């Protein structure tokens, strides 16, 4: 059913400049890891990717809402049932809130089961006069600041594949279990509302959610347990080794995750990432930052979605609270004027990162909310559909972002900071954000 593709199908990117790739020190070790992955089973299947594409087509038409979220960087040490089910459950709770707020069915997608490679702004990191390669995610090297941990090891790609398979196995089991149901999500939302400083407002809102039940798509879909998997398709050795041909249709798919996105740093038109993504049939997304030019965006869309198939392309806007209202209108107007069917989604995290006095990267809840509000104002104001949110979050009780109902401060960060990369919203902060946005949408 899914075969290894012909060499050409997935190797054309190799002749182009590929940003953010590790310097693997040992070519024989790389060949061996790639050979292992090439022989490995697909993690996801073409028909699942096609189903997600039809779901995202509904988002692009304004008939559904996307909730996408999870870790900035998954870590091999955190592959445990508590963290995985916590993230999946938090996404389900957000989906329940947003379904009610928008009166639309919600498509739920994790930044999970493959989110192990990170782009970095600097190739090295210096501490106390010692300079070592930057941490590039557990698929490449280790987080510990030692020369051996930071040396890229291609065998890590195989470990990440296995961890992703185990994560997916758990998630597929949860999807059919009691935990995935509407009732469980509601119960967790009720607990959150009851303990929130905004209890009176949030409990009234929760009562509304309970009265409404779930929402059904135009063709009858409503699937609370359905959770698709996504990650940044950064590491091209990994992605191309897991690319397969669907023998029924001859179409090529990345089988490492249902949806892959291209990051803000690697979306160059003439680069290897765009070349690789143009060749796969999955639904894909692109991050767009505040410097995105209108003409460049149209060229990128032409390259990645030449057929303009609805659901194929999602644009994840990450401009920063201070820029979104100025930069986004022109882009939405151009894309809308061309009649291009894309889903517009807000990532209010990556344009709002600051450094706390303790040295940790953090984000202010209020900035995150401000960017989301700006996104809804701009996209909705232009008659397009604000199609969803893309968040870095966890169900674990971490302190990485500041603010929100429980009022986390810079002083709370050192004791409960677990992220190996960017700061995530914890469950309470995630729900707080969803409730605040829901109030805005329904106002
Ligand atoms: C990310 O999603 O973690 C990330 C690095 O985002 P961006 O490419 O938008 O900076
Ligand atoms: Mn991040």
pLDDT at 295: 98
pLDDT at 8: 56
Exposure of 198 by Cβ count < 10 A (0-12 exposed, 13-18 middle, 19+ buried)? middle
Q: Whose CA is nearest to atom 2 of ligand 1?
A: 72
The ipTM estimated for the assembled molecules is 0.99
Contact of 45 with 281, CB cutoff 8 Å: no
Q: Which of 46-50, 183-187, 216-220 has the lowest mean pLDDT?
A: 216-220
For residue 312, pLDDT beyond 70: yes
Residues whose beta carbon lies within 6 Å of some atom of ligand 1: 72, 119, 232, 263-265, 287, 318, 350, 422
What is the Å distance from ligand 2's center to 291 Cα? Answer: 18
To 5 degrees, how large is the angle CA 275–CA 276–CA 279?
Answer: 90
Distance CA 357, CA 409 (A): 11
pLDDT at 221: 73
pLDDT at 376: 98
Distance CA 339, CA 18 (A): 31
pLDDT at 5: 65
Distance CA 339, CA 390 (A): 24
Per-residue pLDDT tens digits for 281-309: 999 999 999 999 999 999 999 999 999 99
Pocket test for ligand 1, best of 119, 320, 391, 392 (most atoms within 8 A of CB): 119
What is the Å distance from ligand 2's center to 392 Cα? Answer: 7
Contact of 244 with 3, CB cutoff 8 Å: yes
For residue 167, pLDDT beyond 70: yes
pLDDT at 181: 75
User: Could you give the percent of the chain with pLDDT greater than 90?
Assistant: 90
Mean pLDDT of the chain: 95
pLDDT at 378: 98
User: Could you give the percent of the chain with pLDDT greater than 70?
Assistant: 97
Per-residue pLDDT tens digits for 232-255: 999 999 999 999 999 889 999 999
Per-residue pLDDT tens digits for 106-131: 999 999 999 999 999 999 999 999 99
What is the Å distance from ligand 2's center to 135 Cα? Answer: 13
What is the Å distance from ligand 1's center to 30 Cα? Answer: 25
What is the Å distance from ligand 2's center to 181 Cα? Answer: 29
Other residues' Cβ atoms within 10 Å of the Cβ of residue 359 = 10
Q: Which atom of ligand 1 is nearest to the CA of 318?
A: 9
pLDDT category, 267, cuts 50, 70, 90?
very high
Pocket test for ligand 1, best of 350, 400, 425 (most atoms within 8 A of CB): 350
For residue 224, pLDDT beyond 80: no
pLDDT at 1: 57
Pocket test for ligand 1, best of 75, 287, 319 (most atoms within 8 A of CB): 287
Convert 272-338 into a string of H (helix), E (strand) and C (coil).
Answer: HHHHHHHCCCCCEEEEECCCCCHHHHHHHHHHHCCCCCCCCEEEEECCCCCCHHHHHHHHHHHHHHC
Taking residues 31-47, report their average pLDDT. 97
pLDDT at 216: 74
Q: What tokens appear for 307 in the block?
A: 């057929």
* Whole-Å CA distances, 147 to 129, 135, 136: 14, 11, 14
For residue 7, pLDDT beyond 60: no
């Amino acid at each position: 059913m899914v075969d290894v593709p012909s060499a050409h199908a997935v190797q054309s990117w190799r002749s182009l400049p590929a940003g953010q790739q590790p310097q693997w020190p040992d070519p024989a070790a790389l060949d061996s890891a790639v050979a292992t992955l090439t022989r490995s089973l697909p993690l996801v299947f073409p028909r699942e990717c096609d189903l997600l594409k039809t779901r995202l087509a509904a988002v692009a038409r304004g008939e559904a809402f996307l909730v996408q979220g999870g870790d900035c960087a998954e870590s091999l040490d955190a592959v445990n049932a508590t963290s995985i089910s916590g993230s999946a459950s938090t996404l389900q709770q957000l989906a329940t809130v947003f379904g009610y707020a928008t009166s639309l069915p919600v498509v739920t997608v994790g930044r999970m089961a493959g989110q192990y490679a990170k782009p970095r702004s600097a190739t090295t990191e210096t501490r106390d006069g010692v300079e070592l390669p930057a941490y590039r995610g557990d698929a490449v090297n280790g987080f510990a600041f030692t020369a051996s941990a930071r040396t890229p090891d291609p065998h890590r790609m195989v470990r990440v594949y296995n961890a992703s398979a185990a994560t997916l196995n758990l998630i597929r089991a949860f999807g059919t279990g009691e935990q995935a149901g509407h009732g469980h999500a509601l119960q967790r939302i009720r607990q959150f509302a009851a303990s929130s400083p905004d209890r009176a407002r949030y409990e009234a809102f929760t009562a509304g959610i309970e009265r409404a039940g779930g929402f059904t798509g135009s063709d009858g879909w409503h699937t609370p347990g359905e959770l698709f998997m996504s990650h940044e398709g950064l590491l091209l050795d990994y992605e191309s080794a897991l690319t397969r041909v669907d023998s029924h249709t001859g179409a090529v798919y990345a089988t490492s995750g249902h949806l892959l996105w291209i990051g803000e740093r690697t979306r160059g038109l003439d680069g290897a990432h765009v070349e690789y993504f143009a060749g796969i049939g999955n639904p894909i997304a692109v991050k767009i930052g505040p410097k995105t030019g209108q003409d460049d965006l149209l060229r990128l869309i032409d390259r990645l979605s030449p057929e303009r198939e609805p659901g194929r392309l999602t644009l994840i806007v990450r401009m920063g609270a201070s820029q979104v209202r100025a930069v986004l209108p022109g882009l939405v107007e151009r894309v809308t004027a061309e009649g291009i069917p894309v889903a517009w989604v807000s990532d209010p995290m990556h344009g709002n990162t600051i450094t706390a006095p303790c040295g940790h990267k953090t984000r202010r809840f209020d900035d995150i909310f401000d960017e989301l509000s700006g996104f809804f104002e701009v996209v909705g104001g232009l008659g397009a559909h604000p199609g969803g949110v893309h968040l870095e979050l966890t169900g674990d009780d971490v302190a990485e972002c500041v603010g929100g109902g429980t009022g986390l401060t810079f002083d709370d960060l050192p004791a409960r900071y677990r992220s190996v990369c960017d700061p995530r919203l914890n469950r309470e902060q995630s729900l707080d954000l969803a409730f605040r946005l829901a109030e805005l949408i329904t106002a």
